[in-house]
Amino acid sequence: MNHNLFESFAKRMTERRQHDFIVTPEGRNYSYGEALEVTEQLAGALVELGVEPGDRVAVQVDKSPEAILLYLACLRMGGVYLPLNTGYTFAEIGYFLGNAEPHLFVCQPAALEAARKVAQETGCPHVETLADDGTGSLMTRAATAERYTAIEPRGADDLAAILYTSGTTGRSKGAMLTHHNLASNCRTLAEVWRFTEQDRLIHALPIFHTHGLFVACNVILMAGASMLFLSRFDVDTVIEAFSEGTTLMGVPTFYTRLLQDDRLSPERTANMRLFTSGSAPLTAETHEAFHRRTGHAILERYGMTETNMNTSNPYDGARIAGTVGLPLPGVEIRITEPGTHTPVADGEIGMLEVRGPNVFKGYWRMPEKTREELLKDGFFVTGDLGLKDAKGYIHIVGRDKDLVISGGFNVYPKEVEQVIDEMDGVVESAVIGVSHPDFGEGVTAVVVPAAGAELDEAGVLAALKDRLAKYKQPKRVFFVDSLPRNTMGKVQKNQLRETYRDIYKNA
């Protein structure tokens, strides 16, 4: 049996030959039949360039339908797809190319000169270009290359992709994802989220990350559905798209931004059947506000680069605000005492560990890191702290590295943030630990006030006095216009820790 993920996709693509796969507002549309043909051409170009099964193909390009076809072409001929965040500088790219040793680097045309230089320095033999309008040297080559119409046989355990983690602590690690990892997860998600051929996904996420690439595109391909492919998230375009789309996969910032628009209403979203959220915590307030405004309960799910998706709120059952739902079918989650891996009782906070067909094979060329995080019994130590409630729903309280230890007590930032966020005049907050001479770490709050709100440090501290145990109360409160976030909407707490690192120096 051929376990190549593309085998399953090709079957659906052939059945759906006449139907839309990708449409764009500019009319750069591909039916499934057209997409199949371009994957043959692009796979032909990869083979012509000497890419062999198992070789890495590194890609740093703007979002376009053709970039998705390149991903599919790479799967088809057995290459290992390696997408890179478009925000990476060439100094960073040098690390990725040096670490992954791809046979080919595909870059944006404007970056060709710098890309050639870094490719030469790192021994990457080929550089080609792909522009966001679908032109570039790779497409030119594909037009004349001998078509590759086969589907390279792959084992379940062979690599389909390497995705580098965002690496907020130390070097990025390349998560090795197999054909079986990706296939099993998108099959499950298409089923539990009830995707059908009638669905049209509004795709407004970046495609170098697990969410926009694997969750979104693989689910659509598995279902034979279609996507309205937007170059980025833009409130006006997305609100317009609600009349044509049936589903939106978002990060929490999509929803907070949509909520700021007066047009958001039950009528506008009447054609939509599902809104999902992930990649960062969706606050219960946002979940509830969206429900009030549209009648839709956002379905929150939880996953990560290394594991694909792990949990989801149910499609039919209660979608509980502030939780990431139940383990997906076939996925096991245990919550353990950090360090010992001994399960804790339900309701107690511990480390989330995950096992299942979704869990990656290890970190590329980092056997020690792999051994530390991927345990002998198959459980992966996620680095996320959370608990399982009486109904079996998982609640995430934050990353273990964000845990604040003040005077020997554990302070979970989310608990403090929730209390601050409930205060009048607060839009949102982030709580971090900052080095403190007496306490080890001082609980520190960074708050975004609402426009016109009259908040000051003493007022916030006074309001928290009766709401939180003394050791959880912030020692200092700072105000900012907005919190630093990455493209997936995650608050960059490492940046905040850096900004405020000296505040208790003379305390």
The residues that touch ligand AMP, with contacts defined as CB under 6 A, are 165-166, 210, 278-281, 300, 302-305, 324, 382, 384, 396, 399, 488
Give 279 or 294: the residue with its C-beta nearer to ligand AMP.
279
Give 78 or 356: the residue with its C-beta nearer to ligand AMP.
356
Shortest distance in whole angstroms from residue 307 CB to ligand AMP: 8
Distances (CA, A) of 182 to 22, 50, 65: 20, 25, 20
Give 279 or 406: the residue with its C-beta nearer to ligand AMP.
279
Give 78 or 386: the residue with its C-beta nearer to ligand AMP.
386
- The radius of gyration of the chain from alpha carbons, rounded to an integer in Å, stands at 23
Residue 202 near residue 183 (C-beta atoms within 8 A): no
CB atoms within 10 A of CB 392: 12
Shortest distance in whole angstroms from residue 413 CB to ligand AMP: 12
Q: Which residues of 84-100 are buried (b: 16+ CB within 10 A; e: fewer)?
A: bbbebeeebbbbbbebb
Shortest distance in whole angstroms from residue 403 CB to ligand AMP: 12
> Measured between alpha carbons, how far is 432 from 444 in angstroms, rounded to an integer?
5
Query: Residue by residue, what is the 3-state secondary structure of 424-440?
Result: CCEEEEEEEEEEECCCE
Shortest distance in whole angstroms from residue 305 CB to ligand AMP: 3
Shortest distance in whole angstroms from residue 309 CB to ligand AMP: 9
DSSP 170: S
> Measured between alpha carbons, how far is 461 from 315 in angstroms, rounded to an integer?
40
Shortest distance in whole angstroms from residue 262 CB to ligand AMP: 27
> Measured between alpha carbons, how far is 90 from 81 in angstroms, rounded to an integer?
19
DSSP 356: S
Shortest distance in whole angstroms from residue 258 CB to ligand AMP: 17
Helix 32-48 to helix 5-15 angle (10° resolution) is 140
Give 2 or 168: the residue with its C-beta nearer to ligand AMP.
168
Shortest distance in whole angstroms from residue 298 CB to ligand AMP: 10
Give 215 or 434: the residue with its C-beta nearer to ligand AMP.
215
Shortest distance in whole angstroms from residue 265 CB to ligand AMP: 26
Q: Is 168 left (phi over 0), alpha (psi -120 to 50) or beta?
A: alpha
Shortest distance in whole angstroms from residue 93 CB to ligand AMP: 19
Give 78 or 489: the residue with its C-beta nearer to ligand AMP.
489
DSSP 475: S
Give 41 or 210: the residue with its C-beta nearer to ligand AMP.
210
User: Which residues 6+ apart lie within 8 Å of 268 measured at CB?
Assistant: 239, 242, 243, 294
CB atoms within 10 A of CB 202: 26
Give 167 or 295: the residue with its C-beta nearer to ligand AMP.
167
The beta strand positions in 193-273, using DSSP E, are: 200-203, 226-229, 247-250
For the residues of 294-347, what is the DSSP string, one character each?
HS---EEEEEETTTEEEEE--SSS---TT--BEEPTT-EEEEE-TTT-PBPPTT
Give 436 or 493: the residue with its C-beta nearer to ligand AMP.
493
Give 136 or 303: the residue with its C-beta nearer to ligand AMP.
303
> Measured between alpha carbons, how far is 246 from 311 in angstroms, rounded to an integer?
22
Give the residue among 440, 446, 395 at the shortest CA–CA distance from 416.
446
Shortest distance in whole angstroms from residue 76 CB to ligand AMP: 26
Residue 394 burial (C-beta neighbours within 10 Å; 0-12, 13-18, 19+): buried
